[in-house]
A and B are shown apart, each in its own frame.
Chain A
Amino acid sequence: DQQVKQNSPSLSVQEGRISILNCDYTNSMFDYFLWYKKYPAEGPTFLISISSIKDKNEDGRFTVFLNKSAKHLSLHIVPSQPGDSAVYFCAAAGGKLIFGQGTELSVKP
């Protein structure tokens, strides 16, 4: 049973435009939600998080939105840059960290 789902395996965006990565979850007891970024042959690195009591968190070009009623979160990257090309994992924390399947973002120059 997949508690955290990323339904889009890939996303392609033009440089300078907005990238929107989506994630759905099933367990309303999660305390925190996080996004990790992974380059090939490297481990995932933490990008941004949001507490379950908030609906938005912003850090530079990255903003995470949480819609608890829909059990949905999204990561917005504005403006997108070629260096943002990577696999993005959403994760939910509630006793342990559960990851989604990942979305591969490709930002074209």
Chain B
Amino acid sequence: EAGVVQSPRYKIIEKKQPVAFWCNPISGHNTLYWYLQNLGQGPELLIRYENEEAVDDSQLPKDRFSAERLKGVDSTLKIQPAELGDSAVYLCASSLSWGSSGTGELFFGEGSRLTVL
């Protein structure tokens, strides 16, 4: 069974440029997450989707970040414009519905490492 697929793995851009990350979750997983991981820190939740609905986006900086999950499968996370402080690893994860299990067992992709110059 294929795991969570993310692209690109690495991205280098200049500040003020836009960037987008794509995620394909495990088939059948209704819940999709985007996490931000800064160097030396644990992952921090940006947004959680249940199917197509964003049910927790309280930590998403909405002035420059946006996300969508059309048709309840793939998802895209966009940053526009990027700032120096956005340099980090962006992790996508998926799970069976959070509400039914609530155990926190997520399946992560390999991440997209962003460097903003």
A: which residues have CB within 8 A of B?
4, 6, 9, 31-32, 34, 41-46, 49, 89, 91-93, 96-102
In the complex, what distance in Å separates the CA atom of A43 from the CA atom of B104?
15
Q: Do residues B43 and A89 form an inter-chain contact, with CB atoms below 8 A?
A: yes
In the complex, what distance in Å separates the CA atom of A46 from the CA atom of B102?
14
Specify which of B42, B102, B110 is in contact with A101 (CB 8 Å cutoff). B42
Q: Do residues A9 and B40 form an inter-chain contact, with CB atoms below 8 A?
A: yes
In the complex, what distance in Å separates the CA atom of A92 from the CA atom of B102?
11
Query: What is the number of contacts between chain A and chain B, taking CB atoms within 8 Å?
Result: 56
In the complex, what distance in Å separates the CA atom of A93 from the CA atom of B98?
10
Q: Interface SS of chain A: helix, strand, loop or mixed?
A: strand
Q: Given A96-B45, A97-B45, A101-B41, is A45 in contact with B108 using a C-beta cutoff of 8 Å? A: yes
Q: Do residues B42 and A99 form an inter-chain contact, with CB atoms below 8 A?
A: yes
7 A-B pairs with the lowest CB-CB distances in the bound complex, closest first: A43-B108, A99-B42, A93-B104, A97-B104, A32-B103, A34-B104, A46-B105
In the complex, what distance in Å separates the CA atom of A43 from the CA atom of B43?
10
Supply 6 A–B pairs (Cβ within 8 Å), ascending by A. A34-B104, A49-B103, A49-B105, A91-B42, A91-B104, A93-B102
Closest residue of chain A to B45 (Cβ to Cβ) is: A96
Interface hub of A43, A101, A102 (most chain B Cβ within 10 A): A43
Closest residue of chain A to B92 (Cβ to Cβ) is: A43
Q: Do residues B110 and A49 form an inter-chain contact, with CB atoms below 8 A?
A: no
